[in-house]
A and B are shown apart, each in its own frame.
Chain A
Amino acid sequence: MRKFLQIALFVSLSLFANAQSSPEALKLLNGITQKFNKVRDYQVDAVIDARISFLKILPQKAKVFYKSPNKFHVESTGIAILPKQNFDQLFTLIANENNFMAFISGNEKIGDAMMQIVNVVPLADTSDLILAKLWVDAKQDLIVKSQLTTKSNGTVLIEYIYKTWTSLALPDKTIFTVDIKRFKIPKAISADINSKSKTEDPTKPQKPGRIIIDFSNYKINKGIDDNIFR
């Protein structure tokens, strides 16, 4: 059903592909892009906390590297669970006006501030992203929340919390909420021979998985060797 809705949404939005983006939406996105364009590269310490029903893992320390326009690398001391979407994916998409069509679809209050909701549709049919719905703080030129509908991973909700680097649109915390499927493998494979199987109601929806990433100690525009991204 969800896949059908995604296709229906994609087809209906494709009908507007020849239509131009709304100037208000473009103005909002340009403000964000100009802010982020000040960042040529950054390196930041991250603590990745994956909260997924079938996965037990302690928060993991990592280093995140970014170099403009689209180089991205995560280096963790151990095993870290990360969202499929790179942290800079949105900025890469909205950096070029020719890559997408955008229009404002309404307003919504988040906290004390009123956000404008901008829908962004990538024009390339090869893109995994079908639709990005962005909640934009127009006063500060910041994306505070985004909902990405993708072909391969369903819907991903991303919340951004800014404190230290509001001026460069770099978040201190990012929360990814992802739809996940039920996890079950045969006991013979897991060699979990004596465990008792939990009887779960298959009609009960699976709790979405959350990945909370805390960023600290940003090193911005200090230069990063390209070898790190290999």
Chain B
Amino acid sequence: MWAITKIELIKIFAKPRSYIGFVAIAIIVSMIHLAMYVDGINYIQFITNPIEAAFNIEGKILNGNLVCFIILQTLIIQIPLLVALVTGDLISGEAAMGTIRLLLTRPLSRGKILFSKFFAGAAYVFVLLLWLGLTSLGIGLLIFGAGDLIVLKSDMITIIQADDILWRFYAALSIAFLSLLVVASFSLLLSCFAENSIGPIISTMAVIILFTIIGAMDIPLFDKIKPFLFTTHMVIWRNMFDQVLDVELIRNSLLVLFAHVVLFMSGAWYFFNKKDILS
């Protein structure tokens, strides 16, 4: 299984489109670092104004932890799109190039081929997140130094002490990994139906955007739908930055995300096994 996964990984990293995500992250992170370095104080004042109306705030507010948190928040919508760009192409790309027929003539079950592609996609997601963590937190701490983290919610501000933050970032990135696996498995499922890459990639993006819009709107009708959308549970990483963790809420969301991965991969496995190879 490892040998075939390694081949799939080589295929992924041989494609120029696989590097779009890394370049996009590097550009966005650099831009935010630069903007924060030049004009971060004004941005921070915008955040702290409601508190400073009644109190004084002492301490280093603009620091690497805050900048990393801002970057993670900014990229929450974009990263799934960058993942879909690669994982939506895993099966359909082979179909479009006509190599899928050759691939399936090898003495390997379709299930093994499908899961090797999934594991390769998971490895890509892991490396992409590692890159995001290194650039946003690593470089952020180098430029701005460490410090307490101000987490802004629409009706609440949480301040987390500096020595209590790093493990939260690790946990948040781990949750983000599982969230992105949902996107990877969903696009892989769609990829099983298509003969070219554009369809699954665009469809995955459209579903994520649609679900995110529904999640953002405060309409009672949507409140009933929201718990069933995987995008609702994908942002649970933010709850790692609550002063007291709501363990049950986080656990439930992780279970929902994991169930989505199982569901999408089961679907992909079923349809890939039944797929007529006509190209």
Contact = CB atoms under 8 A, between A and B. Distances in A.
A81 to B, nearest CB: 5
Given A193-B216, A194-B215, A82 B56 contact: yes
Contacts of A80: 57-59
Nearest to B223: A196
A105 interface: no
A84 B58 contact: no
Given A190-B153, A191-B74, A194-B215, A178 B54 contact: yes
Nearest to A209: B54
Interface in A180-201: 180-181, 183-187, 189-198
Bin the interface of chain A by size: 35 or more
20 contacts: A54-B155, A56-B158, A56-B243, A58-B159, A58-B243, A78-B59, A81-B56, A81-B159, A82-B57, A180-B54, A184-B154, A184-B155, A185-B154, A189-B152, A192-B154, A193-B215, A193-B216, A194-B235, A195-B153, A197-B218
A38 B148 CA distance: 37
A148 interface: no
Interface in B200-248: 212, 215-216, 218, 223, 226, 231-232, 235, 238, 242-243
A79 interface: yes
Contact of B55 (A76, A82, A184): A82
A178 B232 CA distance: 37
B24 interface: no
A177 B243 CA distance: 23
Given A56-B242, A194-B215, 6 more contacts: A57-B158, A78-B59, A153-B54, A179-B54, A181-B50, A195-B154
Contacts of B76: 191
B162 A198 contact: no
Contacts of B156: 54-56, 183
Contacts of A75: 58
Range, interface on chain B: 35 or more
Nearest to B46: A189
Contacts of A57: 158-159, 243
A83 interface: yes
Nearest to A54: B156
B54 A82 contact: no
B161 A78 contact: yes
A176 to B, nearest CB: 9
